Amino acid sequence: MGRTLAALVLAISVVAAIDGTRNAEIAAALHTRIDKEKVGGLVVATIEPDGSSSMAAYGNPGPGAKPLDADSVFEIGSITKVFTAILLADMVDRGEVKLDDPVAKHLRAGVKVPERNGKVITLIDLSTQSSGLPRLPDNMKPANPMNPYADYTVEQMFEFLGRYQLTRDIGAEFEYSNLGVGLLGHVLALRAGKSYEALVKERILDPLDMDHTAITLTPWMTKHLAKGHNTNGEVMQNWDVGALAAAGGIRSTMNDMLKFARANLQTRGKLQQIMQRTHTERAPASNGASIGMNWIIVQRNGQQVIWHNGGTGGYRTWLGFDQKKGLAAVVLTNSTHGADDLGFDLLK
């Protein structure tokens, strides 16, 4: 490990001598993280105010996997939620739904959605994590705990919604809910008349040329998949998120995530303008942060950082940007060690 890391740092330092200090900063961040936590592997990248980008990769891709690079495929987990938010904003722009539409309006007759004190859950409540729904439903009983979402069905989700009693008023408090965003994606897919995956591809992935981003692994993505690891370095099973895919089912590469990050920094183009609408602060979140449409917004070191992270059984990921300064950073790891602090550090 030491010789490989030294070679990586040396290679990036040579680039830094030509292109400035940023690649050296990335190398230093990798060095610190690997020495501290002994993670399986990392691919990290930044976008600079002049539009240039820097990328570095290091670590163990897993048995039989290709060496980590910008084409390595990772589960991005809950970063999927911001794709769902963009779909919501896009469908509002097209007049297909309204933010204050009751969720029940777009479900089949007979499906009950919890209400409280005369107020109903709306689409924007799901996107601001203020619906009052819990993080997960209580009827998830996976046959395989290593792939916990795989066999959870839409009918089970409806069964839970039909009997759940909200414990707080709708809109009163931030409570992070995979169930809520999974339900939002399901509603949007029903309204569009196609699967959530097909809707994401049509409205976001294809326009941004994100050719190797999907929920269902293509043959190319399978060939480039980085194997996920737990904190003990053991290879973990990939997750199939199923009915709640809109909350955490997408897989992607650094090349594609840089396209997505860059689009979030831009204001030209119809899709980019729609993406901007998801960044607006809409409600308080936890720990002094705010939430837009699924994006978390914080003030750190004089910066406003708009971000989201993700985690599945063998992966941790982070995407964030400083709109004012034109900075963005992406961290993709095939380990369950956290990635948030490294992401924030890269934006300093």
pLDDT tens readout for residues 158-197:
999 999 999 999 999 999 999 999 999 999 999 999 999 9
Domains identified in the chain, total number: 2
Tokens of 41: 């592997």
How many C-beta atoms lie closer than 10 Å to residue 303's C-beta? 18
pLDDT tens-digit map of 236-287? 999 999 999 999 999 999 999 999 999 999 999 999 999 999 999 999 999 8
Q: Which residues pair with 54 in a beta bridge?
A: 46
Q: Six-digit token pair at 266?
A: 């831009």
116-125 tens-digit pLDDT: 999 999 999 9
Q: Are residues 211 and 326 in the same domain?
A: yes
Considering the domain architecture, whether residues 208 and 149 belong to the same structural domain is answered as no
Domain boundary residue, one of 141, 159, 194: 194
d(CA 136, CA 24): 41
Q: Which of 139, 165, 194 is the last residue of a domain?
A: 194
CA 86 to the chain's CA centroid: 12
* Domain containing residue 103: 81-194
Which of 136, 169, 194 is a domain's end point? 194
CB distance 114 to 175 below 8 Å: no
Q: What is the distance between the alpha carbons of residues 46 and 12, in angstroms, rounded to a whole number?
A: 14
* Phi, then psi, of 335 in degrees rounded to 5: -150, 155
For residues 96 and 69, state if they share a domain. Answer: no
The total of other beta-carbon atoms located within 10 Å of residue 294's CB is 25
Q: Are residues 112 and 243 in the same domain?
A: no
Q: What share of the chain is helix, strand, coil (3-state, %, to 5)?
A: 40, 20, 45
Of 46-50, 84-88, 180-184, give the lowest mean pLDDT range. 46-50
Please give the structure tokens belonging to residue 25.
């900063």
Q: Output the pLDDT for position 100.
A: 98
Give me the chain's average pLDDT, please.
90
Assessment of whether the complete model's pTM goes beyond 0.75: yes
Helices (H), the chain: 2-19, 22-37, 80-93, 123-127, 154-163, 178-192, 196-200, 219-223, 245-248, 254-265, 270-277, 340-347
63 with 91, same domain: the answer is no
Same structural domain, 296 and 174:
no
